[in-house]
């Protein structure tokens, strides 16, 4: 297929490479030319705008940072909506970003008026999941649109779940972030408690991995905490952004999320320390600063 892709960062870049390996023709756009260059060298074609990517493609993926970015790319000036009806090719947007459910619904409605289908299909699995094409994909939209897109999605992920109409995929992603980041906070508190007792956090982590506390968070983020490796796997600022989305959604619906509110405050503190572009395992350093048990890096 002729496939467009807008957003070529940590996640978008390997997703494009997997689509190229599957034999698709890729038309790519990003704000930074340096992000485009290696993908052109790999066989993709550079486009000067989202509109151009849409004109040259049948399906377009987006993987950008936030709700405003998706709105700009999809329905803003020079956006994908301007490709509607041009040459009669572009028919589906698959947005894999993490954005507000309300934004997904409003963008889908505007695109539908122009004759373009949309799936909100946020992903989980991080950079390694994108590289290994093992992402979990949570899809919102019409079932028939998902079935039409499923062969493309299979080149990117192992788990593809239809959640419901537009916006439902983003609701599922918000729930994913709640469970995952709360787990990172719990792991950080466990590591802090172990060290405060004079017990080796590495041994505690090893013990926990063999029991009911075992998790991917403990495996990956716990290892980072033990090794004091806070270089970004996923930048903490993105989790901070995601929690802003879910807490605003909770406020809108009047849904109490007391634990999430506490975790959000820890993410706020992390950002305030200037660690937003480092890994979310830096939640351990937030606790250390709060307890007066800072470690010298």
Model pTM score = 0.93
Do both 113 and 248 map to the same domain? no
How many structural domains compose the chain?
Answer: 2
pLDDT string in tens for the chain (297-residue length)? 999 999 999 999 999 999 999 999 999 999 998 999 999 999 999 999 999 999 999 999 999 999 999 999 999 999 999 999 876 689 999 999 999 999 999 999 999 999 999 999 999 999 999 999 999 999 999 999 999 999 999 999 999 999 999 999 999 999 999 999 999 999 999 999 999 999 999 999 999 999 999 999 999 999 999 999 999 888 999 999 999 999 999 999 999 999 999 999 999 999 999 999 999 999 999 999 999 866 644
Of 113, 140, 165, which marks where a domain is finished?
A: 165
Within-domain flag for 236:
yes
Can you give the pLDDT at residue 76?
96
- Residue 110 in domain: yes
Interval 188-245: pLDDT, tens: 999 999 999 999 999 999 999 999 999 999 999 999 999 999 998 889 999 999 999 9
- 196: domain CATH number? 1.10.1040.10
Same domain assignment for residues 147 and 184? no
Residues 154 and 30 in one domain: yes
Predicted local confidence at residue 37, as pLDDT = 94
Catalytic residue status for 241: no
Examine the domain organization and report whether 89 and 63 are in the same domain: yes
Q: Are residues 85 and 187 in the same domain?
A: no
Q: Are 125 and 136 in contact (CB under 8 A)?
A: yes
Please identify, among 116, 138, 165, the residue that sits at the C-terminal boundary of a domain: 165
pLDDT in tens, 15-28: 999 999 999 999 99
The whole-angstrom distance between residue 101's C-alpha and the CA centroid of its chain comes to 14
* Same domain, yes or no: 137 and 21: yes
In terms of domains, do 62 and 118 share one? yes
Structure tokens at 23: 């034999």
Tell me the two tokens of residue 49: 């705008």
Residues 151 and 187 in one domain: no
Question: Which pLDDT score is estimated for 88?
Answer: 67
Return the pLDDT at 86: 78
Do residues 22 and 90 both lie within one domain? yes
Residue 93: how many other CB atoms lie within 10 Å: 32
- Give the end of a domain, one of 133, 165, 197: 165
**Structure confidence at residue 234 (pLDDT):** 86
From the list 173, 203, 241, 293, the catalytic residue is 173
pLDDT at position 296 is 43
Within a domain: 296: no
* C-alpha closest to that of 152 among 110, 84, 91: 91
Domain assignment of residue 297, yes or no: no
Look up the domain containing 98 and give its range.
Answer: 2-165
User: What pLDDT does 125 receive?
Assistant: 92
Q: Is residue 176 part of a domain?
A: yes
Looking at residue 295, its pLDDT comes to 60
């Amino acid at each position: 297929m002729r496939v467009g892709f807008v957003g070529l960062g940590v996640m978008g870049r390997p997703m494009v490479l997997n689509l190229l390996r599957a034999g698709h023709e890729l038309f790519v756009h990003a704000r930074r030319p340096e992000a485009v260059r290696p993908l052109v060298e790999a066989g993709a074609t550079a486009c000067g705008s989202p509109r151009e990517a849409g004109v040259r493609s049948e399906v377009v993926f987006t993987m950008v940072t936030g709700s405003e970015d998706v709105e700009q790319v999809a329905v803003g000036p020079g956006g994908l909506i301007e490709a509607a009806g041009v040459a009669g090719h572009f028919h589906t947007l698959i947005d894999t970003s993490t954005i507000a459910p309300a934004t997904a619904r409003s963008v889908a409605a505007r695109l539908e008026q122009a004759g373009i289908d949309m799936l909100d299909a946020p992903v989980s699995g991080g950079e390694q999941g994108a590289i290994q094409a093992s992402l979990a994909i949570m899809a919102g939209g019409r079932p028939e649109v998902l079935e039409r897109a499923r062969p493309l999605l299979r080149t990117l992920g192992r788990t593809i779940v239809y959640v419901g109409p537009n916006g439902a995929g983003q609701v599922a992603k918000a729930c994913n972030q709640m469970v995952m980041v709360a787990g990172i906070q719990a792991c950080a508190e466990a590591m802090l408690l172990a060290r405060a007792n004079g017990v080796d956090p590495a041994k505690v982590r090893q013990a926990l991995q063999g029991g009911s506390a075992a998790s991917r968070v403990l495996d990956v983020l716990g290892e980072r905490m033990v090794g004091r490796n806070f270089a970004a796997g996923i930048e903490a600022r993105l989790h901070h952004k995601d929690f802003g989305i879910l807490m605003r959604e909770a406020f809108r619906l009047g849904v109490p999320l007391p634990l999430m509110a506490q975790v959000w405050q820890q993410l706020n503190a992390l950002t305030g320390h200037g660690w937003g572009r480092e890994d979310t395992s830096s939640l351990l350093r937030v606790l250390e600063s709060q307890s007066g048990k800072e470690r010298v890096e």
